[in-house]
Amino acid sequence: MDDERLWLVERTYTDKGLVSLVYATTDGERQLRKQRSMNMLNQVDVTAAVDADPESLDPVDDEATRERYADEATRMAEQHDPDEAV
């Protein structure tokens, strides 16, 4: 099965020096969460989109969150190239 494209919809900074990134499908139905250290982010760009194996994605259970993710993923897809640093 082909990889699925997901768009950055959320970036949260923790008090432990980590950044949580959430990428979601444009329909808001599925998500991929990644945690990165602040040091790693200084070396590697956060891109507008990632491609992931559909089997590694988690469902978005909350309807309000699904709608918010769908809106944000669609906006990101319209305004950014997938490999663009954001």
The C-alpha angle with vertex 34 and arms to 77 and 65, in degrees rounded to 5, equals 60
Q: What is the pLDDT of residue 1?
A: 63
2-16 burial: b if 16+ Cβ within 10 Å, else e: eebebbbbeeeeeee
As a whole number, mean pLDDT of residues 78-82 equals 95
pTM over 0.85, yes/no: yes
10-51 pLDDT, tens digit each: 999 888 888 999 999 999 999 999 998 877 766 778 899 999
- DSSP-derived 3-state class of residue 83: coil
